[in-house]
Amino acid sequence: MRFMAWIIGALGLFALGLFGGFMVLLFGAGEGDRLAATAAVLGGLIGAVGAALAVYLTIVGQRKDEAEKVEGALRMEVAEHSRLALGLLQVCEGVIAGTYQIPLRDLPTLMQMPEATVYRATADRISRLEYGPLFVVFHSRIAEALQMVNTYVAATTLRPVLAGRTGDAELSRAMEARVVVDKDKARTLLAAWFDVCQVGRTILRRDAIAPQLADAAITEVIKDLDAAETRVAPVAKKAGS
């Protein structure tokens, strides 16, 4: 829109200049000179419009090409993250089925995810996509799943049983190695990674319900915030008094 306004303004100034020159030529000029001046003004206007249109079409084409490349890169990143999330989903299924026994301390390493480099580099342009808000939901859900992993590990980290005595660190490490991911934690993580996969599938399919999913995510957060206010506000007020 700003570019169109710039073109219209430039054309207006150019036309005004030509009109001024044309009016000057009219005074004291013969009929042949007037016809020549009119032809010159019309030719100048046509040339200016043509040049402006050519510039506009070139810029529009470049922006469209750039948008398509950005979208392609974003979708590929989502596809790769979704593929990795699907693998972690299968790991959780294995724990629930009793196929795997995973030491809890190794869970953060096992469930690492690569950085979303394309998303971070193009975050200011995803709003042009109809399903752009879902990219935010997608990467936020990944962060949530990883946060759950770290929380589980931090909450169950064992301390040395006999502080200050030789071998305490070795004993602690040995005991931590025996603590495995239980089925309840695996089910919770499975639900989190399944959610990531669902959002990724919606993005990759360009599903028509994508805007509705983004709105639903916002609505759910508002409900959680309202519930937190009801639960925590009295405690916070008491602590501040």
Looking at residue 99, the DSSP 8-state letter turns out to be S
Count the neighbouring beta carbons within 10 Å of the beta carbon of residue 12.
Answer: 10
Supply the pLDDT for residue 97: 94
The number of CA neighbours under 13 Å toward the Cβ of 209 is: 7
Supply the pLDDT for residue 13: 47
pLDDT bracket for residue 162 (50, 70, 90): very low
Supply the pLDDT for residue 212: 78
For the chain, give the percent of residues with pLDDT over 90. Answer: 32
Residue whose structure tokens are 């040995």: 174
Supply the pLDDT for residue 233: 79
pLDDT bracket for residue 41 (50, 70, 90): low
Of 183 and 100, more confident? 183
pLDDT bracket for residue 52 (50, 70, 90): low
User: Angle CA(19)–CA(22)–CA(27) in degrees, nearest 5?
Assistant: 130
Where do the structural domains in the chain lie, given as residue ranges? 2-207
Region 87-116: mean pLDDT is 92
Region 64-88: mean pLDDT is 86
Model confidence pLDDT, tens digit, residues 165-193: 545 556 556 555 678 899 999 999 999 99
Q: What is the mean pLDDT of the chain?
A: 76
Q: What is the token pair recorded at 67?
A: 């948008």
CA-CA-CA-CA dihedral for 168, 172, 178, 184, to nearest 10: 150
Residue type, 196: V
Region 160-169: mean pLDDT is 51
How far is the C-alpha of 57 from the C-alpha of 4, rounded, in Å? 11
Kindly report whether the global pTM for this prediction surpasses the value 0.95: no
Residue whose structure tokens are 């200011």: 124
Evaluate if residue 86 carries a pLDDT over 70.
yes
Residue type, 204: L
Looking at residue 111, the DSSP 8-state letter turns out to be T
The listed range with the strongest mean pLDDT (10-14, 146-150, 237-241) is: 146-150
How far is the C-alpha of 186 from the C-alpha of 98, rounded, in Å? 11
